[in-house]
Amino acid sequence: LSVDDFVETDGGNHNIRVYQNRGFNAAHHGLSAQPMFGGPVYFIRNLVYNVPWGGAIKTGGSNPAGVLAYHNTFIAENSNTSGLSNAHYRNNLFIGTNHPKKPVLRQLNHTSYSSTDYNGYRVNDNSLPKFMWGVPEGKMRDFESVEYGEYRSLDEFRRKTGQEEHGVILDTDIFEKMILPDPATPHVGYASDSVDFRLKRGSAAVDAGLAMPNINDGYSGSAPDLGALELGSDTVVYGPRVE
């Protein structure tokens, strides 16, 4: 439970690693890199649930650089990622909560080589574009005049930007047990045992990821699974240990 963000790497410089954390009920964001002075900061295999006023990863407003997010499960939109550089997202799950004022992805990049691929999305049932993405046009870097493009589907986003060539659309039925936090009641907290982040066998997130040496070695199927928990992997113990 937090009144701001679960984990903040704000003001960091190089080689920062945030991995295998579980966060429930933060008022603002799950993971924060606001700012990050060069990076890399690695966000790996974290679980985030219920961040009603923010989003999955906070980077907006401070121009962080070197943000790498791999194999996280976010029951949240990634909607506050404006103004970052050299950012690369792979094998994550971004599960939209049907927030009326958020797309599932909104990211403005100051570098043309920022990238996102092999991620899974549950898009929101609202009137907004499903994806918003901006990169410098005709140059490698632009810190002043980048604008968002708006895309109504993953196919349109992929076709017009070249991003998410291997991305997939999915829903909460990929999990053993999942209820979406209600954006209409942001003051409500949820118990950590009210959901089960484990993937169902045969679901759209299984074997849908990219093999990444030293990140997801030892995956069990034909390819790594999306999200924080590989199907059939050992149970992760969160919080205090008794021994």
Identity of the amino acid at 190: Y
Domain that holds residue 69: 1-243
Tell me the C-alpha distance between 197 and 108, whole Å: 29
Q: Look at the chain and report how many structural domains it folds into.
A: 1
Tell me the C-alpha distance between 226 and 205, whole Å: 5
CA torsion angle 169 172 175 179 (round to 10): 160
pLDDT of residue 240: 84
241 backbone dihedrals φ, ψ, rounded to 5°: -105, 145
Edge-to-edge, what's the strand order for the sheet holding 41-44? 16-19, 41-44, 67-70, 88-90, 115-117
Tell me the C-alpha distance between 237 and 239, whole Å: 7
Per-residue pLDDT of the chain (243 residues; tens, 9 = 90+): 899 999 999 999 999 999 999 999 999 999 999 999 999 999 999 999 999 999 999 997 789 999 999 999 999 999 976 789 999 999 999 999 999 999 999 999 999 999 999 999 999 999 999 999 999 999 999 999 999 999 999 999 999 999 999 999 999 999 999 999 999 999 999 999 999 999 999 999 999 999 999 999 999 999 999 999 999 999 999 988 877
